[in-house]
Amino acid sequence: MKDIIKKSLENSYSYLAYRSLIGNLLEEGKATGPTQSEDLTQYSLLNHKRMQRLDKTIKISEETTATIKSLNKPQTWLVLSEGWCGDAAQNLPVIDKMASLSEHIELKIVLRDENIALMDLFLTNGGRSIPKLIALDEHNNIIDTWGPRPSVATKMVADYKEKNGSIDAAFKQDLQVWYNKNKGKSIQEDFIDILKKA
């Protein structure tokens, strides 16, 4: 496991480099990952705009800020993502804003489909759901994991699946509306718990 994590860290992007990668691929009419389709490119374009907006508007609460600033040991937040993923677009800007508040946190992003060995160590209910964050200490030991979405949204998904069998386009739309109203509050609450464990 340590070798897989080490290799993934070597293949990682900073948040800015990840955002540039998506933007550059979109200029070529492409999405991240080996599979290309018009749909994936459209999702990537939508998410690119969503992230640009969130980068400007996301506010980190005083409680989250205080918790992050109390960290006194280095951590790496390694996140599996792809440009076409709606949940990643909603959560990565918040994760980046939180990470930027502490000199002890380094955010590194890897593409899921280029790091399948890592992804398969951190499945969610047997699936390769992203974004998936792995919080590592200075020796690359796992402190905790998070993802693919805030715990409140995870419960919404589970409840909907139980009632309807699967997630459909209508639910995905409702989930985006929830994200827009929540403004990153739920993910911050999840991360306060993670940081307190550290």
Query: What average pLDDT does the segment 138-149 reach?
Result: 95
The CA distance from 104 to 120, in Å, is 27
Query: What average pLDDT does the segment 22-35 reach?
Result: 96
Q: Within a 10 A sphere around the Cβ of 9, how many other Cβ atoms?
A: 16
What does the pLDDT read at residue 153?
95
The answer to whether residue 75 scores a pLDDT higher than 90 is: yes
Average pLDDT, the chain: 95
Scanning the structure block, which residue is given the tokens 């909907």? 160
The answer to whether residue 41 scores a pLDDT higher than 90 is: yes
- Which domains does the chain show, CATH number per domain? 2-148+188-197 (3.40.30.10)
Q: What is the DSSP-derived secondary structure letter of residue 126?
A: T
pTM to 2 decimal places = 0.95
The answer to whether residue 198 scores a pLDDT higher than 80 is: no
